[in-house]
Structure 1
Amino acid sequence: MEATTVEGGCAAPMAGRRERKKQRTREALVDAAFRLFQQKGFDATTVEEIADEVDVSSRTFFRYFASKEDVVLTFQEEQFVTMLEALSSRPASEPVLTALRNAAVSVIRACEEGRYGFDPERFGCIQQMMESSPAVFGRSLEHGQKKQSEITRIIAERMGVDPAADLRPHVMAGLANCAFHSAFEVLAAGVAKTDRFSEVVDEVFEVMEDGLAYRSEETTAAG
């Protein structure tokens, strides 16, 4: 009797092992990078040092990340996805800016408290790098601009409008992006009432909400 072979029968398990190995290498690089960032600081840490910690080459590092900054943004990506889910689940009765505020603050607070699998120590490290490293802050700005279209889409769905014909979802998404980066700037400038990022973001959104309805004393008196 001839043995029956299944063409490509070993391909799937082998592919699965390769993917698991890649994932382990990626996670090891992230862990090594943050360990060095905390020990030496972001700017003083080199790609070569990160690769050496994992016993791989710099070339291997660049197969996974385009730069040191992109290692930092892996955590932000997870946070962003969680925030989109939180925004989608906010009550339809909430005004858009309030929903954005509540979703953002709840997810950031979860990061600070170690919920949803987030590492609070790593979150604190990222916050420090955002405040102290122009390279990290600049890369985060670029990342936020690329992700703004996803926030715009969810806001448009929430409002029941077409973002191709209505500018309001775009404006609201831009305000949310601005709130995050304004919070980092406020912390870096030392004018925040607290060093807890979730509270600073909440305060920034409050200023935005008040600002939209703001009238100066002179204007009020004239009215």
Structure 2
Amino acid sequence: MIASAPGTGGPAGTAGRRERKKQRTREALIDAAFTLFAAKGYDATTVEEIADAVDVSARTFFRYFASKEHVALTVQEEQRTALLAALAARPAQEPPLTALRNAVVAVTRLHECGVPGPDRDRFRLLLKLLGDGGGLLAGSLEHAQRGLRDIAEIIARRTGADAASDLRPYVLASTMVAVFQAALIGVKDDAMGYTSLADALSDAFAALIDEAGRPG
């Protein structure tokens, strides 16, 4: 028996409509969350308020997101996916730290200065929320730590190392977390003069590469 095409009212069409509805609900929850974060701040916003703004129950919210932190860090997850693709695409002759720097800066600049719209607005708001510190910053750093294995595996492929037995790819991948923390300080501290996270990341990586090249 051949399933009906989407839009015909058969099983395939029903499944397609269901998935589209789920995606719309997910996007609506993200939009509502970031609208509330902008108006009230992250800590003062509750899951119940996010759900109410979309006219769904808190139980429905938890079908899509494990927590308020989870919905706030959807932007970071999107950036991580883009970073992995950008790092894998860097020229093979680039040293690992240089490739990581170029990939991180390019992806960050795209999110920070890209086409005006919800994605860019969410990214900028997330940076502000992270700059405020608190529990979301801790969650963001933990999220970054969980993603290090994927970055390390790409570095291992680029360098011919074995990620299963060699610490070097993980050491190089782990520098990204420290560089990100330093760059956030650079953006938050007016005395440093940074208005762009991408610029701060570029300089932080440059400092790391410079120090790594000094005779020990």
User: TM-score over 0.5 for the alignment?
Assistant: yes
> What residue in structure 2 maps to residue 83 of structure 1?
83
Deviation at residue 75 of structure 1 after TM alignment? 1.0
The 2-side partners of 1:199 and 1:7 are apart by 55
Unaligned 5+ residue runs, structure 1?
A: 1-5
Query: Partner letter of residue 76 of structure 1?
Result: Q
Does the CA-based 8 Å contact 2:187-2:196 persist in structure 1?
no
The 2-side partners of 1:116 and 1:38 are apart by 17
Q: Tell me, what secondary structure is at the counterpart of 1:119?
A: helix
> What residue in structure 1 maps to residue 130 of structure 2?
130
Does the CA-based 8 Å contact 1:110-1:118 persist in structure 2?
no
1:101 aligns with 2:91: no
- 1:131-150 residue pairs with structure 2 within 5 A? 131-150=131-150
> What residue in structure 2 maps to residue 59 of structure 1?
59
CA shift in 2, pair 1:173/1:80, >3 Å = same
CA shift in 2, pair 1:23/1:157, >3 Å = same
Query: Partner letter of residue 26 of structure 2?
Result: R
Deviation at residue 118 of structure 1 after TM alignment? 7.0
* Backbone CA RMSD of aligned residues: 2.1
Query: Partner letter of residue 57 of structure 1?
Result: S
Deviation at residue 210 of structure 1 after TM alignment? 1.7
> What residue in structure 2 maps to residue 120 of structure 1?
120
Deviation at residue 8 of structure 1 after TM alignment? 6.7
The 1-side partners of 2:91 and 2:192 are apart by 30
Q: Percent identity?
A: 49
Does the CA-based 8 Å contact 1:155-1:169 persist in structure 2?
yes
1:31 aligns with 2:31: yes
CA shift in 2, pair 1:94/1:118, >3 Å = farther
Deviation at residue 43 of structure 1 after TM alignment? 1.2
- Is 9-18 or 83-92 further displaced after alignment? 9-18
> What residue in structure 1 maps to residue 16 of structure 2?
16
- 1:145-184 residue pairs with structure 2 within 5 A? 145-184=145-184
Q: Tell me, what secondary structure is at the counterpart of 1:194?
A: coil
1:198 aligns with 2:198: yes
CA shift in 2, pair 1:71/1:154, >3 Å = same
CA shift in 2, pair 1:117/1:164, >3 Å = farther
Does the CA-based 8 Å contact 1:152-1:173 persist in structure 2?
yes
> What residue in structure 2 maps to residue 3 of structure 1?
none
Q: Tell me, what secondary structure is at the counterpart of 1:163?
A: coil
CA deviation vs aligned residue, 1:168-203 (integer Å, no higher than 9, x gap)? 111110112221122223434555331211011111
The 2-side partners of 1:203 and 1:74 are apart by 26
Query: Under a length normalisation based on structure 1, what TM-score does the superposition of the two structures give?
Result: 0.87
CA deviation vs aligned residue, 1:83-111 (integer Å, no higher than 9, x gap)? 11111111111111000000000110111
The count of aligned residue pairs is: 211
> What residue in structure 2 maps to residue 111 of structure 1?
111
The 1-side partners of 2:190 and 2:140 are apart by 20
Deviation at residue 164 of structure 1 after TM alignment? 1.6
The 1-side partners of 2:164 and 2:49 are apart by 46
Rg larger for: 1
The 2-side partners of 1:95 and 1:7 are apart by 53
Unaligned 5+ residue runs, structure 2?
A: 5-9
Does the CA-based 8 Å contact 2:69-2:139 persist in structure 1?
yes
